[in-house]
Chains A and B, each alone.
Chain A
Amino acid sequence: MKSEYKIITNIIEKNTRVLDVGCDDGTLMEFLKKNKNVDIRGIEISKEKVQTCISKGLTVIEGNAEIDLKQFPNNSFDYVVLGQTLQAFINPEIVIKELLRVGKKAIVTIPNFGHWKVRLNLLIKGTMPITKSLPNDWYNTPNIHMCTIKDFVKFSKIIDFKIFKSLALVNKNVSNINNSNLFFKNLFAELGIFLIEKKNEN
């Protein structure tokens, strides 16, 4: 089990309605179902992975989050989870807005492009960084909108959503991110995990 999934599961309350966007092979869905007794749905673009989810008895819709989130009514889920895929969308801004429309809260995880190895890679080699979590070359990567933890925090101010909780993952260790440690977390975290909510909801 990925540490990321454990952290997400800790954030999510029991007996809630959850949508996992880009649910992959349904590992997180299964884990959440078992540990939090949630009513969970998934969206997944890969036919093969949809099949895997079906074989696990999970309710999954084959679809593209950029198009198919539209069909869900406002606030129809307590949590919408988007694990490490924000950077792969053509328009991450629309996706974030959709997540916040469909879910009362959203959990977004991002591979941190501000990690020191990534920075060093570009600085020393002068080529686009290739790491364990970002294994593709620049020309064949699905990750077209990489961002750093700092970028995401900035993004929350630009499109005006609230960050409730921000966590940094380093070597399976979780820590809180705050304004005073943002510089360091952005340098050392492999993954940023954010619990977000739309602002001014009445």
Chain B
Amino acid sequence: MNTNKQIKTLQIKKPLKLDCGKTINDFPLAYETYGSLNQNKDNAILIFHALTGDQFVTGKNPVTNKDGWWSYAVGPNKSIDTNKFFVICANVIGGCMGSFGPSHQNPETKKIYGTDFPVITINDMVNAQVNLLEHFGIKKLFSVIGGSMGGMQVLQFVSNFPEKTKTAVPIACTSSHSAQNIAFNELGRQAIAADYNWSDGKYTSKNTVPDKGLAVARMAAHITYLSKKGLQEKFGRKLQERDDLKFGFDADFQIESYLRYQGSVFVDRFDANSYLYITRAMDYFDLVKQFKGNLSNAFINTKAKFFVISFTSDWLYPTQENKEIVIALNAIGANVGFVEIESDKGHDSFLLDVPDFLKALKNFLEKSYVEK
């Protein structure tokens, strides 16, 4: 899936020392851009994608032929207005949309890496992506923006490169992955590992795909992206194309059918090993620990203007965890705004048509852009 010629890649020659101790060099970073870079090169926004996202933020994704994952927020005249801003988004390393990942060949063994690919972290992801700035000749971004795992990358980016962005918008995220979130990720990984076809990660050489395991992982994760109220309102106990219960184990309920569908379409576009690697990166994310228990120290050197956004019904990255970022920033007198958006769409709210969110994001960016 990653040989598609519509995928742009930047070949990174500079060695990158990973947190795991290994060093990678001469590796591809797949990216996409929208809008155009102005003459002052001060209108660039780096968007970070979440667990199952990719570089195709908006418009038609040329690989899946579906709308980009953040089409509601990014595009001409939208919240992240591509008429004004130059948007860059890269596929994270460890991913499966063209960036260096477990489905790539190991140049030494000439075999597909699989689980021999080095374990990567959020820190490694942003350290790889910062190369894009040099590539485009951008000294300072106007903003770094991302939701969920993308938000974690925002925090890590500002911490690593305090002078490389004017503003930062971490959305529905956390500074330290919680036990509950690690637990859900582990459930997903174990579902993949339990699929006979996974073959300890060597499924490519056996010409099989652990699609059952990956689909179950996606189904479980998908539930965590929604809210109880949202599910109840959308599905309730409605039956799927039948008048009554069938007294069997087919999908009687619409919610079952919906989840099965979500699982089945996911396996067509996502690599099981990438799922393992990226969920691991999220689990390892602990910016608080990186700064020895004081999150404020992560941001002590930045003058960036922050805007933290959370959602009322997000129980995966609840408001409290987002507020801890705000608290850490206020403790050092940083410039931080915060809003909790009312929505019953759960964690997924940031990806969906939630007008209050889209309005807040647009207003923040446009007002901050004209500020000196």
Are A54 and B360 in contact, with the CB atoms below 8 A? yes
The segment from A59-67, A93-101, A126-134, A136-144 that touches chain B is A59-67
- Return the contact of A63 from the options B338, B368, B371 (Cβ within 8 A): B338
Q: A51-B359, A54-B360, A71-B326 are in contact. Are A59 and B339 (CB under 8 A)?
A: no
- Return the contact of B339 from the options A50, A56, A76 (Cβ within 8 A): A50
Q: Give Cα A83 to B327, complex, Å.
A: 23
Q: Give Cα A72 to B203, complex, Å.
A: 53
Contact with B along A43-59 (1 / 0, CB 8 A): 00001001100111111
Are B333 and A62 in contact, with the CB atoms below 8 A? no
Question: Is the C-beta of B25 less than 8 angstroms from some C-beta in chain A?
Answer: no
Q: A50-B339, A51-B360, A63-B338 are in contact. Are A57 and B326 (CB under 8 A)?
A: no
How many B residues, CB 8 Å from partner?
Answer: 24
Q: Give Cα A51 to B309, complex, Å.
A: 12
- Return the contact of B363 from the options A54, A63, A73, A76 (Cβ within 8 A): A54
Are B331 and A61 in contact, with the CB atoms below 8 A? no
CB neighbours (8 Å) of A61 from chain B are 326, 330, 336-338
Cβ < 8 Å to A, chain B residues 290-331:
305, 307, 326-327, 330-331
Residue on A nearest B306 in the bound complex, by CB: A59
Residue on A nearest B319 in the bound complex, by CB: A62
Main secondary structure of the interface of B (DSSP, over half): mixed
Main secondary structure of the interface of A (DSSP, over half): mixed
Q: Give Cα A51 to B361, complex, Å.
A: 10
Residue on A nearest B330 in the bound complex, by CB: A71
Are A73 and B333 in contact, with the CB atoms below 8 A? yes
Question: Is the C-beta of B335 less than 8 angstroms from some C-beta in chain A?
Answer: yes
CB neighbours (8 Å) of B305 from chain A are 59
- Return the contact of B336 from the options A17, A54, A56, A59 (Cβ within 8 A): A59
Cβ < 8 Å to A, chain B residues 326-350:
326-327, 330-331, 333, 335-342
Q: Give Cα A26 to B216, complex, Å.
A: 48
CB neighbours (8 Å) of A57 from chain B are 363, 367-368, 370-371
Residue on B nearest A17 in the bound complex, by CB: B333
CB neighbours (8 Å) of B342 from chain A are 47
CB neighbours (8 Å) of A47 from chain B are 339-342, 356
Q: Give Cα A73 to B363, complex, Å.
A: 29
Closest 5 CB pairs of A and B: A57-B367, A71-B327, A55-B363, A61-B338, A59-B337
